[in-house]
Structure 1
Amino acid sequence: MRDAEILVGYDGSTDASVALDWALDEAEQSGQPVRLAYVFEWLTVAGWVGPGVAPGVWPDDTARRQVQELVREAAAQAAAAHPGLAVTGEVYDGPPALVLQERSAEAGLLVLGSRGHGGFGGLLAGSTAVAVAAHGHCPVVVVRDGAAGAPADASGGPVAVGVDGSEPSLVALGFAAERAARRQVPLRVLRAWTPGPGAAAGVPEERAAVEETLEPWRRTYPELAVTVDLVPGSPAAMLIEASRDARLVVVGSRGRGGLAGMLLGSVSQQLIQHSHCPVAVVRER
């Protein structure tokens, strides 16, 4: 679904605005249309009740009109700043994580801020970003605003990708190679391994396995500069460290061996919360 739209979770927060900027920059490279999605969650004491809630329960019609105007203005400003792009906005009803997961089935890419400002239902709180990244139907990019220690300008930094030989990591490798080639920046391929007695003897075999998975992408993008790093330690620590000078870190939805559980539970939260650059979570459709 290369030409499918880029869907951006948007609630007017700083993180959402940074995510929108990232999505627009990506769309400039790919030519994909961009759609802003504000998920309007109607809450009562008993929880979400959806549209048709009894009059007087917050948020009322005035609040909804304010949300619609917020999205309309943001989409109009984005379109004006990027005249070659098709930019639209839409307001949806329901729990944010569930709605964004459902909408991702029709998108080519879903871009989120790591958290929102509470606003109308707390769109893109940390737990929502983690949930959507874990269960979205298309690649999901989580963009953090003001990551501590982030380089002032990582525009020329590499695209870093974690691989372990599993099918999801190979899909992630293809996603990373395509974006690195499109941006004309290096591709950095990382594989975690566990030090121990005799572990060093297996390093050449590990490197050979990574090089084998890279072969088709080297043929597809012969001008792409590629480096391979075998890093001792945990996958999360490896990728967080790599994010310091990367423009994007890419991982598969789940892995085995070195990347086992990469996007489940606390490890995924570490990467989304502590990465110094945007994180792309890629899975097979």
Structure 2
Amino acid sequence: MTTGTVVIGYDGSPQSRMAAAWALDQAALTGAPAELLYAYEWPDWMAAASMVPSLPIFPTAEIRRQAGRVLADAVAAARRSHPGVPVTGTTVDTGADLSLIDRSAGAGLIVLGAHGHSAVPNLLGSTTVAVSAHAHCPVVVVRGTAQAHRPVVAGIDETADPHAVLGFAFDTALVRRAPLHVIRAWPPAIGMPSGTALTRGAVPAGIRRPFDELVAGWREKYPEVPITAQAVARHPAAALTDAGTAAQLLVVGSHGRGRLRGLLLGSVGQHLLRHAACPVAVAHEPET
């Protein structure tokens, strides 16, 4: 597993504190350094307000000092709770999404809270969506609970690179000493006669054979990781959401390759980032 820096989007909110706790555990397990990144995020209306005579709306010295204190306290707490992890803190004036995407080019992992810049339950913040879709490294969005005794669950399909998903999932299961459960879900067939295997929820052996062969190859690479595989005729979002209730981490892929890289997160990924009962990792295909 890569030991590149674990970059944590931090703003002092409860969600970002949860993200920091998960990220620091991961850094301790992998031997990676951690960086807490605090980005000034100004409401959209401030740009319009700045066009009329008014008091200055840019970060004042006092606001910067307050942000610095929040970050310094977080770094100090991280060093106390995880003394073996080298922890630094950084503040930036650019937006959180652009800063984190930029940092991801040289990072091993980006970790975010589930509701950055959105106080509405089940409404993803723009930072979460943008970074999950456009990052150059895996992104973990921490939500729900992550109980260490539960398995890591990986969901693969034909639209995202399965090797990126399985590589991150196996590496994570290995360092966390967790079993891995791999799910390949085929959406229910529409217009097929009732009574066929797919309409009953079963996947015929001929259809699932490439999936079984893929899993077998990865099983040989990671003999230390206990693995189970499940092929189901069910909508992937529903299958993975249910699996997440008994998982410590869900791993899915991003959509798009080459010029399409980062343009789409995918309906399954977006559904999980809103509704999963555990943290969700979005694995990105390595750039070439």
TMscore range, shorter length: 0.7 to 0.9
The aligned residue for residue 278 of structure 1 is: 279
Which amino acid in 1 is paired with 2:94? G
Moved more, 164-173 or 183-192: 164-173
Residue of structure 2 equivalent to 1:94: 94
Aligned pairs (5 A) from 1:208-227: 208-227=209-228
The reply on whether 1:132 has 2:131 as its aligned counterpart is: yes
Matches within 5 A, 1:235-274: 235-254=236-255, 264=265, 266-274=267-275
Q: Residues 130 and 48 of structure 1: is their aligned pair in 2 closer, same or farther, counting only changes over 3 Å?
A: farther
Q: Quick check: 1:176 aligned with 2:177?
A: no
* 5+ long unaligned stretches in structure 1: none
Paired residues, number: 267
Equivalences for 1:144-155 in 2 at 5 Å? 144=143, 147=144, 154-155=147-148
Point out the more displaced range, 216-225 or 110-119.
110-119
Deviations 1:207-264 (A, max 9, x none): 32112112332122213211111222211111111100000000111279xxxx9x63
Correspondence for 2:140: 141
Q: Displacement, 1:165? A: 4.6
| Structure 2 stretches lacking a partner, 5+ long | none
Q: TM-score, normalised by structure 2?
A: 0.83
1:50-61 alignment to 2 at 5 Å? Answer: 56-61=56-61
1:83-135 deviation per Cα after TM superposition (whole angstroms, max 9, x unaligned)? 1110111001112212211111111000000114679xxxx962220111011
Deviation (angstroms), 1:265: 5.8
Q: Report the alpha carbon displacement of residue 205 of structure 1 after superposing the two structures with TM.
A: 2.4
Give the partner amino acid of 2:224. E
Match of 2:75 in 1: 75
Name the SS for the 1:106 alignment partner. Answer: coil
Identity %: 44
Contact preservation (8 Å) 2:46, 2:57: no
Name the CA distance, whole Å, in 1 between partners of 2:126 and 2:246. 26
The one-letter amino acid paired with 2:97 is: A
Give the distance between the partners of 1:255 and 1:239, measured in 2 at CA.
20
Q: Is the 8 A contact 1:4 1:108 kept in 2?
A: yes
**CA distance, structure 1, for counterparts of residue 81 and residue 163 of structure 2:** 36
| Alignment match, 2:208 | 207
Q: Which amino acid aligns with 2:125?
A: G
Q: Does 1:26 align with 2:19?
A: no
1:162 aligns with 2:155: yes
Does structure 2 retain, via aligned residues, the 8 Å contact 1:253–1:281?
yes
Counterpart contact for 1:44–1:57, Cα < 8 Å? no
Q: Distance in 2 between matches of 1:239 and 1:24?
A: 26
